[in-house]
Amino acid sequence: MKIIYFIVGLITLAIGAIGAVLPMLPSFPFLLLSAICFAKSSKRMHDWLVETNMYKKVVVPLRDEKKMTLKNKIKIMALVTVLMSIGFVMMNEVVIGQIVLACVWLFHMYYFIFRIKTKKAENL
């Protein structure tokens, strides 16, 4: 099981790194999943990940301060909207599925807009 967590950790770390560069791909959820996977598979990899600048910039502020930059909030909300819209369209004959997806999307938007505070972006 540790090897599976390790492989998933590497994959999500790569996606998170790509998300730090691409405007439509959020890095936070992938880096967080990577940290969880590494914590379950390899203490050495987990310790390395939590010391990287990328992790400190993206995950730590949300974890500690419950704050996120506007840019990161928009990226995450846009990606979730696109992905849920695809699911919504594909469920054209499953009305209850569309209702559930719409409710999850609304809650997601509410949470990111009103529950996670927006912090000013740091100039590097």
Tokens of 24: 């439509």
For residues 8 and 55, state if they share a domain: yes
For residues 27 and 84, state if they share a domain: no
For residues 22 and 4, state if they share a domain: yes
Bin 54: left if φ > 0, else alpha if -120 < ψ < 50, else beta.
alpha
Count of domains observed in the chain: 2
Are 49 and 13 in contact by the 8 Å Cβ rule? The answer is yes
| 8: CB partners within 8 A, 6+ apart | 33, 37
Residue 124 CB coordination number (10 Å): 5
Query: pLDDT tens digit string along 81-106?
Result: 887 888 889 888 888 988 988 988 89
Name the E strands within 1-124. Answer: 67-69, 117-119
pLDDT in tens, the chain (124 residues): 889 999 999 998 898 888 777 666 677 788 888 888 988 898 888 888 888 887 887 778 777 777 888 887 888 788 888 878 888 898 888 889 889 889 888 988 988 888 888 887 665 4
Domain enclosing residue 53, as ranges: 1-65
The type of residue at 120 is: K
The model scores a pTM over 0.85: no
Are 69 and 119 in contact by the 8 Å Cβ rule? The answer is yes
For residues 56 and 90, state if they share a domain: no
The type of residue at 25 is: L
